[in-house]
Chain A
Amino acid sequence: MILFYDKNANIIGDDGKTDGKIHIVTDSKQAKSIKQQTESGNTSIDLTNVDKVTLNGGDKTVSGVIASVEAESKDTSPGAGDARLHEEGGHTEVDSNGNVIAVAWKPGAKKTGTNKASITPFNGVTKPNANELADYWHTHTSGEISGIDPTTGEPTVTSAAPGPSGESGDIGYQKKLENAGYNATAIQVDTRGSKTVNFYTGSGNVTSIKYNAFKKLKQ
């Protein structure tokens, strides 16, 4: 039984498969229709042509994202002073036996206010092949930096922009992966303010759900 959810993490149906994936139906009308089909006894709903996001790594992706969000709020090492000021990330991959494993990346460097916070994809780990990578994710920072512009002396405050960065950043990287034959789901988490999980494609489409809803997803 494979459960799938609406954007509020309510269970709305089952596609009858046992592939370990989690599906989130992103269109509210379609989600409502699926819920009605489920209530009328359909336990093998066809998700073809349904607008959805798929967590190919299932529960392992959910727990991996949660671990990264929690790590972002802490120092990467005692006394590092980079709690809430560095990015975390990771991925899920399918091994040769078909088992899904979550891999945490090496954390990104501390942001200073004049350099952007970032994490190199697959930082410090081996990048899986296209047929092995299930999902990958990274968090943006939750902390702010108050500074003074060295030329003008004017005060500034820098804080993470919501959503995945554009062509020169997150979305551009996902586009490269897609062009290389990868089919993994790309996930970025806004940790500042009300936490949000964003799923994005190389063409720039972004679908978001609340982090509190995301945490409830399970297979």
Chain B
Amino acid sequence: MKNVLLIIIILAFFKTLAQNEDIKINATLYINNKPVKDVKYYFIKNDGKAYLLSKENEKIILRDTLTTEGVPLMAVKGKHKIVFPVYYYRESDYIKIYYDNRIFGNTTKKKFEINRLKYLFRKEYYIDIEGFDDIITVFKPERKYELIE
């Protein structure tokens, strides 16, 4: 009986360890179809604050203690502040964020089969998450978020 209990405790320990492994996702922001560097990524909590995520090379790191279906993130690069949800984050190797403001030669809208006149007067971003078959369109945030470095 003691042996069984010991095995259960050991299994539970390893399960906890496995659950606490980090989730690493390659994140790239494309502006006018070109990848840009030095993008900061934040995790938005219910308190409305955005907490800086650590990175390993170009991969953002999330702790695998998340239980929600979607994770709200924010990417910040210069004047671009992009708030977007990430679904299927445990299955995703990459997140690609696209911004393209070109009226002519807008290869991003063409790539995603989005009418070039759609969102003509809004600042929109397209989020492509591996494993989530839809493209998520988000817009310039309606709220301001306190950035916690």
Q: Does A175 contact B (CB under 8 A)?
A: no
Shortest CB distance A189–B (Å): 13
Chain A contacts of B136 at CB under 8 A?
156-158
Q: Report the bound CA distance from A168 to B45 in whole Å.
A: 29
Q: Does A205 contact B (CB under 8 A)?
A: no
Shortest CB distance B62–A (Å): 14
Q: Report the bound CA distance from A161 to B83 in whole Å.
A: 19
Chain B contacts of A166 at CB under 8 A?
130
Query: What is the interface size of chain B, counting residues whose CB is below 8 A from a CB of the partner?
Result: 32
Which residues of chain A (106-132) have a CB below 8 Å from chain B?
A: 111, 113-118
Q: Does B134 contact A (CB under 8 A)?
A: yes
Q: Does A155 contact B (CB under 8 A)?
A: yes
Of A114, A150, A161, which contacts B135 at CB under 8 A?
A: A161
Shortest CB distance B87–A (Å): 6
Q: Chain A interface: which of B10-18, B22-30, B106-114?
A: B106-114
Of B83, B131, B134, which contacts A160 at CB under 8 A?
A: B134
> Interface SS of chain A: helix, strand, loop or mixed?
loop
Shortest CB distance B71–A (Å): 8
Chain A contacts of B115 at CB under 8 A?
193
Chain A contacts of B87 at CB under 8 A?
114-116
Q: Does B133 contact A (CB under 8 A)?
A: yes
Residues of B that sit less than 8 Å from A by CB: 44-46, 68-70, 72, 83-85, 87-88, 91, 111-115, 128, 130-139, 141-143
